[in-house]
Structure 1
Amino acid sequence: MPATSTTRQSVPGVVPQRVGPGRGEAAARCLGRDGAVVLTGYEPDADSLVVAAATVLGDRLRQLFPQRLRRSHDGRPVPLHADGFDLVVEIAGVPHRRRDPDEDHVLVQCVRGAASGGESFVADAYRFVDECEAADPELWEFLTRTDVDLYGAWAGLRGLPAEPRVGRHVEYTRTGRRLVRRTDGAAPLHRDPQAEYVQAMLERLKSAVAETEQGLERFRLAEGEILVLDNYRCWHGRDAHTGERAVRILTLRTSDAR
């Protein structure tokens, strides 16, 4: 069983800058600098997400995935995570990819704000990993050099391919972009002789991320505002809330994606 690190890391928090309408270049600069930006002045509708994606990412856009409207009543907290899922369905006998493990950007629009709570938070996963190299070398070694089944914990879910999706938490694209994954679906590979070690390290990562989450600065999205995230670089989540809350989510791939 791996020993637990006693070295506390700093908090790699990100509070996205707000950018008004008609300032696509400024929003793109903020996204490139911080990994996240909040766009203001949009109507809370599905078309706004597509327009926002084109405004910030321009001709780098390659593939948009179906939007997801998420409604919650007295919602539980959503821990830090990166989007991405391996989901393929058949429509009229033709396979269609509904989600992709390598979605490199995500847009989250507030459609209806909660009566209380529901604040968002963002962490710079690059900083988390870089600081982990000194604070917890064993965890860093695991994240950068150990293969896991990225969705093995969700095996049997309808639409999830039967073949294991094998990868590491930290990888690089052909263009040299680093991606840092964070999913509750990760599991040891089938019959991995190090399965016990891998499971212990997954729990250690979960604890380290939960500790990081506690120190992150919170911010609230107003209705219509859109949080744009570099999904390879930043993890995001939200606090518990009371009352009704709704967000619309768009994930996509650009020319820089894996």
Structure 2
Amino acid sequence: MDVSSASFIPRRVSGAEEARQVMAREGAAIVTGLADEAAAVAFGAQVMGDRSVRIGTQFEATKANNRAEAMVVDAQPADKHGRKRDFGTSEERMIAHNDGFAFGDYAPDHLFLWCERPAAVGGDSFLIDTARLLDLLAADPEHADLADFCRTVDIDHSEPNYPQGTFAPIARRTPSGRHQGRFHPWQAPVEGTAHEAEHWAFVRRWESAVVAARDTGPMFRVEAGEMMCVDNYRVLHGRDGHSDPSRKVCSIWGWSTDAVAIPDGPLDIVVPRIPMAS
């Protein structure tokens, strides 16, 4: 089936209030004219407004940083099933994902991707609206069972060797009423259940649907001084491959009062241990 319409190009907006409204309706927006990282963080806080609890730069996405983090992750062992974490390389098209997926409920509900310098060639972005993707699947008789699985069956969202300790459906309504739809390459059925083998087929079909939306939908370029404002619960994101060592994007994570859980301190994506409940 054609799922390309689940991918979209965000609209460019002129201010924090408009960004907030467009994010609520469409899942993402782009703002321009942010001269530096501090201005980008401040703008993100304005977008969250009086719901803002915590915001700050999580990491700087550069080729050098990616290589350094990937080397640490490559040295980590495989889990008991032979699964191994992999950060990939900047030259590869990125796997669609929600930022902070390794932290489960503690993942940020807002994501701001500020571009200091785009790649000279490549590095274009993509966004996938999981609400739209699930609606497309539900409307197709051959895939309605997949949409139902995603909405009703608990799975394990943990990365190898870093268990989250809780299970949840791929798509759900959060306590604040927000749609949350998740994907990353380590999603798996809950181990040891009677339907584990059957559920693997659904998890793989969800992966195929996400990859198809990524590879058939539009991509777009974010220029220097521009920032994507993304509903990190609803929208998957990523970028095309590039080899430009000068490309720099700051990933800014924000938690609002809508967030399912808010960490007390910084989160480490290289060693993603789940925060202790406060």
* TM exceeding 0.5: yes
Relative to its length, the structure with more strand (as a share) is 1
- Give yes or no for the alignment of 1:222 onto 2:223: yes
Asked if 1 retains the 8 angstrom alpha-carbon contact of 2:32 and 2:225, the reply is: yes
- Aligned with residue 150 of structure 1, among 143, 157, 176: 157
Shift of 1:114: 0.9
2-structure distance, mates of 1:256, 1:33: 16
SS of the aligned residue for 2:145 comes to helix
Answer yes or no: is the 8 Å Cα contact 1:70–1:248 preserved in 2: yes
Residue 217 to residue 110, structure 1, CA distance change in 2 (3 Å): same
Post-superposition shift, 1:117?
A: 0.6
Cα gap change, 1:201 to 1:111, in 2 (>3 Å):
same
Q: Which amino acid aligns with 2:240?
A: D
- Distance across 2 between alignment mates of 1:194 and 1:63: 39
Tell me which of 5, 10, 28 is aligned to 1:36.
28
Rounded Cα–Cα distance in structure 1 between residues aligned with 2:189 and 2:167: 10
2:91 aligned with 1:75? yes
CA contact (8 A) 1:116 1:241 kept: yes
Secondary structure of the 1:79 match is coil
Offset from partner CA, 1:198-236 (integer Å, 9 cap, x none): 222211111111111122211111112111101122111
**Is 2:20 aligned against 1:15?**
no
Structure 1 residue 71: Cα displacement? 1.0
Deviation at 1:101, TM superposition (A): 3.6
TM-score (norm 2): 0.77
Q: Take 1:9 and 1:18, find their aligned partners in 2: how far apart are those partners?
A: 24
Output the amino acid matched with 2:94.
V
- What is the identity, as a one-letter code, of the residue corresponding to 2:45? A
Give, in angstroms, the shift of residue 65 of structure 1.
5.4
The unaligned stretches of length 5 or more in structure 1 are: 1-6, 88-98
Aligned twin of 1:186 = 187
Q: Partner of 1:252 in structure 2?
A: 254
Task: State how many pairs are aligned.
Answer: 232
* 2:51 aligns with one of 55, 60, 70: 60
**Could you tell me which residue of structure 1 aligns to residue 241 of structure 2?**
240
Q: Secondary structure at the match of 2:146?
A: helix
Letter of the 2:63 counterpart? S
Deviation at 1:49, TM superposition (A): 2.8
What SS does the aligned partner of 2:193 have?
Answer: coil
Runs of 4+ in 1 over 2 A off after TM superposition: 7-10, 63-66, 84-87, 99-102, 162-165
Residues 102 and 242 (structure 1 numbering): CA distance in 2 closer, same or farther, change over 3 Å?
closer
State the 1:237 CA deviation.
Answer: 1.4
Partner of 1:115: 120
Match of 2:77 in 1: none
What's 1:131 paired with? 136
Aligned CA RMSD, in angstroms, stands at 2.0
Task: Summarize the Cα distance change of 1:169–1:112 in structure 2 as closer, same or farther, 3 Å threshold.
Answer: same
Residue identity matched to 2:46 = T
When residues 65 and 51 of structure 1 are mapped into structure 2, their CA distance, relative to the original with a 3 A threshold, is closer
Distance (Å, rounded) in 2 between the aligned partners of 1:85 and 1:131: 24
Kept after mapping to 2: 8 A contact 1:44/1:225: no
Deviation at 1:66, TM superposition (A): 5.0
What letter corresponds to residue 8 of structure 2 in structure 1? Answer: V
Q: CA deviation at 1:58?
A: 0.8
Secondary structure, counterpart of 2:253 in structure 1:
strand
Give deviations 1:33-89, integer Å, cap 9, x for gaps. Answer: 2211111101232x12321112211111112355211212752111221123355xx
Match of 1:205 in 2: 206
Question: Residues 133 and 254 from structure 1, CA distance in 2 versus in 1: closer, same or farther, beyond 3 angstroms?
Answer: same
- TM superposition shift of 1:111: 2.3
